[in-house]
């Protein structure tokens, strides 16, 4: 009698990555938003899907923060997208050159004053992402990241 044949292992799609360095300017932040939308479209989330809209908004907020609060003259910021296809989770990372300027920790964001014209970006990140935070991998940079469930 033969031993039962184990179920075949289903291959998983590989993790996908996209990385780009951009100028720490409003133009660089705008380009980050467009590149993220295009990359998601290429990976199977067309421009008109909710997932693409959410990612585009989150990249826009984080890239704007990198250009405004993380800017050091002559230094760029880095956009990195990592798609984990097994659970359709996208990790968005924006790395800038000002590790000392860290945002408040998740769950501790103060509400903006109704009179303030800005200050709501990280509240959007906290609301629309499943997780977010800040890491400092070296003494010269910080990365603000978030994760989004696309499906």
Q: What pLDDT is recorded for position 93?
A: 98
Q: What is the mean pLDDT of the chain?
A: 89
Of 142, 29, 60, the closest CA to residue 95 belongs to 142
The answer to whether residue 127 scores a pLDDT higher than 90 is yes
Q: What pLDDT is recorded for position 151?
A: 78
31 is a domain residue? yes
Give me the CATH number covering residue 128.
3.30.565.10
Q: Which residue has the higher pLDDT, 113 or 54?
A: 54
Helical pair 26-42 and 50-68, crossing angle rounded to 10 deg: 150
What are the pLDDT digits (tens) for 98-126? Answer: 998 888 888 888 787 777 766 678 999 99
1 is a domain residue? no
What percentage of the chain has pLDDT greater than the value 90? 66
Q: What pLDDT is recorded for position 5?
A: 53
The range of the structural domain enclosing residue 73 comes to 16-103+121-149
Q: What pLDDT is recorded for position 104?
A: 85
Confidence of residue 60 (pLDDT cuts 50, 70, 90): very high
Rounded Cα–Cα distance for residues 69 and 36 (Å):
21
3 is a domain residue? no
Q: Which residue has the higher pLDDT, 126 or 72?
A: 126
35 is a domain residue? yes
Q: How many domains does the chain have?
A: 1
53 is a domain residue? yes
Rounded Cα–Cα distance for residues 24 and 101 (Å):
15
Burial pattern 43-72, b for ≥16 Cβ within 10 A else e, equals bebeeeeebbebbbbbbbbbbbbbbeebbe
126 is a domain residue? yes
Q: What pLDDT is recorded for position 73?
A: 86
Q: What pLDDT is recorded for position 95?
A: 96
Q: What pLDDT is recorded for position 72?
A: 84
């Amino acid at each position: 009698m033969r031993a039962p044949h184990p179920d075949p292992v289903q291959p998983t799609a590989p993790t996908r990555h996209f990385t780009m360095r951009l100028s720490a300017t409003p133009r660089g932040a705008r380009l980050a938003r467009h590149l993220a939308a295009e990359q998601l479209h290429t990976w199977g989330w067309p421009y008109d899907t909710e997932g693409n809209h959410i990612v585009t908004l989150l990249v826009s907020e984080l890239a704007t923060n990198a250009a405004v609060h993380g800017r050091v003259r002559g230094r760029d910021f880095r956009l990195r997208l990592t798609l984990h296809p097994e659970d359709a989770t996208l990790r968005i990372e924006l790395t800038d050159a000002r590790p000392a300027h860290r945002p408040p920790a998740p769950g501790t964001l103060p509400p903006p004053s109704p009179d303030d014209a800005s200050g709501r970006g990280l509240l959007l990140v906290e609301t629309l992402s499943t997780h977010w935070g800040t890491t400092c991998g070296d003494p010269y940079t910080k990365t603000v990241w978030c994760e989004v469930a696309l499906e």
